[in-house]
Amino acid sequence: MRKEQHHKGWNEIKTNDSWAIFKIMGEFVNGFERMSLIGPCVSIFGSARIRPGDTYYELAVNVARRIAESGYGVITGGGPGIMEAGNKGANMAGGTSVGLNIDLPFEQHDNPFIDSDKSLDFDYFFVRKVMFVKYSQGFVVMPGGFGTLDELFEAMTLIQTNKIHTFPIILVGTEFWSGLLDWIKSTMLEAGNISAHDMDLIRLVDTEDEVVEIIDAFYKGNTLSPNF
């Protein structure tokens, strides 16, 4: 009897999984249709826990403002912290301000600096990540946690394996990121788990001017278009 009940429960799970495909497909269709209309953007990532007044919050505002002044839209994860700072900077410059929001039990809520017609909601992290990668002309990565690292290494992996076109990946904050980069060089590279030229995928800077210089220099010889 218990075995039969177990099999029944398993079959119900499989049925639910099948129906979930339609919800997933709907998120992809909505995301593609809305993001394709927005134009060239740069994504800014970072911790949801950093508050206004923090050095990196204010730096993210300035980075986003300069990006918007250079003619790019700004995409963030739509929430508080560095995400809010990114949307705020774009908004201050009168630029395009996009928020890709995720439904979470804590931390996440829409920030007030997203353009009203450019706020998208997602239930699935993997769908949201596709939107970041497909429609971003560059990743600007501020100090953050697991989610920030997830986006960073996802992009590096896809570029390394030629699944998407190369685009600038810029880490902002030498004090925060240098330890990670040192470990990658001294451990991963030394062990032969990555190649020396893989380190060229990342640039490390400390100012908003450096961020814009890298992005502008890259696109002087490259087309602004979706990455796949």
What digits encode the pLDDT tens for the residues 30-86?
A: 999 999 999 999 999 999 999 999 999 999 999 999 999 999 999 999 999 999 999
What is the pTM (predicted TM-score) of this model?
0.91
**CB contact burial 128-149 (16+ within 10 A = b; e otherwise):** bbbbbbebbbbbbbbbbeebbe
User: Crossing angle, helix 125-135 and helix 2-35, to 10 degrees?
Assistant: 20
What digits encode the pLDDT tens for the residues 128-187?
A: 999 999 999 999 999 999 999 999 999 999 999 999 999 999 999 999 999 999 999 999
The CATH code of the domain at 2-219 is: 3.40.50.450
Question: How far is residue 112 from each of residues 7, 38, 74, 95, 221, measured CA to CA in Å?
Answer: 48, 19, 14, 15, 36
**CB contact burial 46-83 (16+ within 10 A = b; e otherwise):** bbbebeeebebbebbbbbbbbbbbbebbbbbbbbbbbb
Tell which residue, 56, 42, 38, 51, has the closest CA to residue 79: 51
Alpha-carbon torsion (128, 142, 222, 73), positive or negative = positive
Domain ranges of the chain: 2-219
